[in-house]
Structure 1
Amino acid sequence: MAKGDVERNGIVGMRKMCGVKGGCGDKKDERSNWEALWEIQNDEKKTTLADFKAGICYVVSFYSPILSLASSVQFSDDTPIAATSSTTPISSLLFLLHHLLKPHFHFQTLISQNVLNSHHSPTIITAGDSGLKFRDKILYLQSLKINPTKALQKNPDLRSALLSSLQSIEHCLSSMGIERSALGRILDMFPQLLTADPSNQIYPVFEFLLNNVEIPFSDIRKCIIRCPRLLVSGVENQLKPAFEFLMKLGFVGANRITCRTTVLLVSNVDHTLTPKIDFLMGLGFEYNEVAKMVIRSPVLLTFSIENNFRPKLEYFLEEMNGDLEELKRFPQYFSFNLEGKIKKRHRMLMQHRLSMPLSRMLKVSDGEFNARLIDMRLQLVEERQL
């Protein structure tokens, strides 16, 4: 990029960052913008305003793709920069100058005439420049539709990670049939995977699912897409204990874990699975009865005791005068929305002094439920006329 192009692009970028609209605009406003930055950056006045302006033009022109990210990232000196309502694009630029380039060269080097007079690409600065590497990583994350700001906040190790190591994660997941669109969603959800060691952290999960759980290779992709948390769950401390617990509960043979139920493997045995079994047994059910309920409706083990089991149980017993034996036969009751379906349909039945088994009341669509309700009302009228 020629010097003239650098300066023109830099001035345009600078004016956008300073909130100045239009073309060249008021020269006085433009000069005040440059001088404000010059005063902040150049405390000891070691650099002339003209050189400072030229250097800023160069940085804005080349690093504009990452300026919007700079104010919310931690770099190698571990100085936290939090994005707040007062954060401005100008502060992003200063942050870039202070942190992104500081480890490798001084500001005066950046604005040297040797660089500005060059007709080559800006990559001539240095092959190992951290700014270039960081920019490449940002562009790579964006190509995967990963939010770079969120990823860097959740995984600070991305600062020092090599681009090749990020690409190795993509290759690892792609080798198991996960397409790029799904891969980006998974990595955006769990950015810690971007700096994971495939050999020690990811492939062992695949091997466990294939060899221990006996998930067919063709279904591994479905397992991961349905439950990406599998990839950040340790085999020895999480997946294996959960798998053994579920096998004892009855998830074997025809009821074995499949790609539809591998989500249960990410549940902690002591803090999630056992308390739910204990809660159901506390209703008066035997262990084998609870096991049958869970096998019939595995999703029970994913529900919250306080937000699901308890309020739905209270409504069933107190408002519906239900029998626990019916819950044993139809544990799927806990899968339905309390306000949107259970209460609504129960109240419609009560309004007409009718009753219906849980399965008939809940498993059908609204249209079919209304049709059944009309049939029951007509039948009731006919019986009264006899």
Structure 2
Amino acid sequence: MPTSPATALHFSLCLSSQKPTSPSSSAFQQPNTQLAAKPKSILHEHPLYTSTHKNLSLHIKEKVLCLEIMGIDSGKALSLNPSLHTATLDSIQSIISFIQSKGIHQKDFPRIFGMCPKILTSNIRTELNPVFNFLSQDLKVPDHNFRRVINKCPRLLVCSVRDQLKPCLFYLQRLGFEDLDALAYQDSVLLVSNVQNTLIPKLRYLESIGLSRNEAVDMVLRCPALFTFSVDNNFTPKYEYFAEEMKRKLGELKEFPQYFAFSLEKRIKPRHMEVVQSGVKVPLPLMLKSTDEEFMELITLSQGAG
């Protein structure tokens, strides 16, 4: 355990060691009052705890308070990770202590554990420690930067190094992702993506619209976010609008893959309509990257020049 754990969290975890001698003792009544006060509405509102659950055990109440003190929605956490129901506070405290030993701060807990409550019931030796070893040995992340990486992508801590992280890193490196810093600090979400079900289908889609394999790879290398976009909800509608309504050439997408990062309804369509109505030709990057003021000035100047 850290020598100076977060005070609030330490208080909640220490409650488990306060074993009352009798239900009427003040030692029992005081913690029970504190524990029931905040979680009550949460427990009653969440489907896991209907109004019939009036006599929750002290063990559950302590656990709920522990999660709430960390800023975590206890109902959501218990729903996403049923194993928390039977996990002991000692085991949760061990996880917290281990995570803190890696440089993670208490203020990071709501984001990290809120997104991935499974971490709280992970095995330190076989699941969590291998992830930090992967960050250190494979991504060359120094210990003092663990916090930065984990905050960027908490899901790293619930991924298998052998079955997920290493195979994904190998695949990305084969494609040409050579910048380990970029993968660690900017594009770490790619490492938690499924190669077969997520990454490969997106490359195949880009090839299906007429790009060569090398051209598709070059696009994702220049704009890694392409690997995070949905084929059905992003690529397909945006490409169809690009080809059918905008009637632009595929070469423009090769040069500006960031096109897929802009909102179809809020940016692409309105800007395209302005261009059509003005009767001027505007390069795709200028059309989409410009601020509203810059875009209107561009249209005005182009019309004047015409």
TM-score normalized with structure 1 length: 0.66
Q: Which moved more, 1:257-266 or 1:302-311?
A: 257-266
Q: Which moved more, 1:355-364 or 1:268-277?
A: 355-364
For the residues of structure 1 that align with 2:155 and 2:92, how far apart are their CA atoms?
19
For the residues of structure 2 that align with 1:350 and 1:321, how far apart are their CA atoms?
11
Given that 1:186 and 1:228 are in contact with CA atoms closer than 8 Å, whether structure 2 keeps it comes out as yes
For the residues of structure 2 that align with 1:254 and 1:262, how far apart are their CA atoms?
10
For the residues of structure 2 that align with 1:285 and 1:148, how far apart are their CA atoms?
47
1:361 match: secondary structure: helix
Given that 1:215 and 1:259 are in contact with CA atoms closer than 8 Å, whether structure 2 keeps it comes out as no
1:236 pairs with one of 158, 162, 166: 162
Partner of 1:360: 286
Partner of 1:376: 302
Q: Say whether residues 1:92 and 2:73 are aligned partners.
A: no
- What letter corresponds to residue 92 of structure 1 in structure 2? H
1:197 pairs with one of 102, 120, 123: 123
For the residues of structure 2 that align with 1:212 and 1:345, how far apart are their CA atoms?
43
- What letter corresponds to residue 53 of structure 2 in structure 1? S
Q: Which moved more, 1:176-185 or 1:255-264?
A: 255-264
Q: Say whether residues 1:135 and 2:61 are aligned partners.
A: yes
Partner of 2:228: 302
1:344 CA displacement? 0.6
Q: Deviations over 1:106-131 (max 9, x none)?
A: xxxxxxxxxxxxxxxxxxxxxxxxx2
Q: 1:227 to 1:372 in 2, by over 3 A?
A: same
Given that 1:233 and 1:266 are in contact with CA atoms closer than 8 Å, whether structure 2 keeps it comes out as yes
Q: Deviations over 1:49-73 (max 9, x none)?
A: xxxxx98xx9987634337255578
Q: Say whether residues 1:311 and 2:237 are aligned partners.
A: yes
Given that 1:289 and 1:328 are in contact with CA atoms closer than 8 Å, whether structure 2 keeps it comes out as yes
Q: 1:364 to 1:216 in 2, by over 3 A?
A: farther
1:160 pairs with one of 74, 86, 92: 86
Q: Which moved more, 1:333-342 or 1:287-296?
A: 287-296
Given that 2:187 and 2:224 are in contact with CA atoms closer than 8 Å, whether structure 1 keeps it comes out as yes
1:83 CA displacement? 4.6
> What CA RMSD, in Å, does the superposition of the two structures yield over aligned residues?
2.5
User: How does 1:43-82 map onto structure 2 within 5 Å?
Assistant: 63-64=32-33, 65-66=35-36, 68=40, 82=48
Query: Percent identity over the alignment?
Result: 39
| Matched residue count | 278
Q: Which moved more, 1:244-253 or 1:322-331?
A: 244-253
Structure 2 spans left out of the alignment, 5+ residues: 1-22
Higher CA-based Rg: 1
2:185 match: secondary structure: coil
Q: Deviations over 1:202-224 (max 9, x none)?
A: 11111112211223434332221
For the residues of structure 1 that align with 2:223 and 2:207, how far apart are their CA atoms?
16
For the residues of structure 1 that align with 2:43 and 2:225, how far apart are their CA atoms?
43
Structure 1 spans left out of the alignment, 5+ residues: 1-53, 74-80, 101-130, 381-386
Partner of 1:337: 263
